[in-house]
Amino acid sequence: MKKQVLNCTVNDEAVEVLVKPYTTLLDALREDLGLTGPKEGCGTGDCGACTIHLDGKPVASCLMLAMQARGRSVRTIEGLAKTGTLHPLQDAFVRHGVPQCGFCIPGVLMAAAAVLAENPKPTEQEIRYGIAGNLCRCTGYTKMLTAITEAAGAAARREG
């Protein structure tokens, strides 16, 4: 099958890349653009490890074709913070020792960032539902909740 030209924005930069019509957005990011932060844990949208932002909304990039991102804005874990800095969520995850094996973490962070973008002061229940699409097998989620709650507080303080 012939490749097609995909033009979109990835982590604030305009990109142009050739992809097969059947290539998923996840594969295009990982294999063609070298952004291996998003992970494939299931390929069927059940585990959340491939979560990215498309026009600011969290999506499972394994369930989308790359060409569906044409003209749109994609953000991956690599673009959550400016190079060399950490997003308050990332910083809180490190300090609270959240990551264990780490495989789910890029997806969890993108889901959590989407929760905070929509609702800067979420309740515990809102955080839990916000990351309920992201499976983690190592942490039991407790330290994630602590870190996200703290980061939300920090963000709220900054705004207030």
Q: Which residues bind another protein (CB under 8 A)?
A: 20, 22, 30-31, 34-44, 46-47, 49, 76-78, 80-81, 86, 89-90, 93-106, 109, 127-129, 131-146
Q: Minimum distance between the CB of residue 98 and another protein, rounded to whole angstroms? A: 8
Q: Which is nearer to another protein, 8 or 144 (CB)?
A: 144
Q: Minimum distance between the CB of residue 128 and another protein, rounded to whole angstroms? A: 5
Q: Minimum distance between the CB of residue 67 and another protein, rounded to whole angstroms? A: 15
Sequential DSSP letters for 87-136: -HHHHHHHHTT--SS-SSHHHHHHHHHHHHHH-SS--HHHHHHHTTTS--
Q: Which is nearer to another protein, 2 or 71 (CB)?
A: 2
Q: Which of 61, 66, 64 is nearest to 78 (CA)?
A: 61
Q: Which is nearer to another protein, 148 or 160 (CB)?
A: 148
Q: What is the three-class DSSP state of 17?
A: strand
Q: Which of 101, 96, 113 is nearest to 147 (CA)?
A: 96
Q: Minimum distance between the CB of residue 4 and another protein, rounded to whole angstroms? A: 15
φ and ψ of 7, to 5 deg? -110, 125
Cβ-proximal residues to 106 (8 Å cutoff; 6+ apart), any chain: 37, 38, 39, 49, 51, 76, 77
d(CA 67, CA 97): 37
Q: Which is nearer to another protein, 22 or 119 (CB)?
A: 22
DSSP structural state of residue 24: B
Q: Minimum distance between the CB of residue 14 and another protein, rounded to whole angstroms? A: 21
Q: Which is nearer to another protein, 8 or 87 (CB)?
A: 87
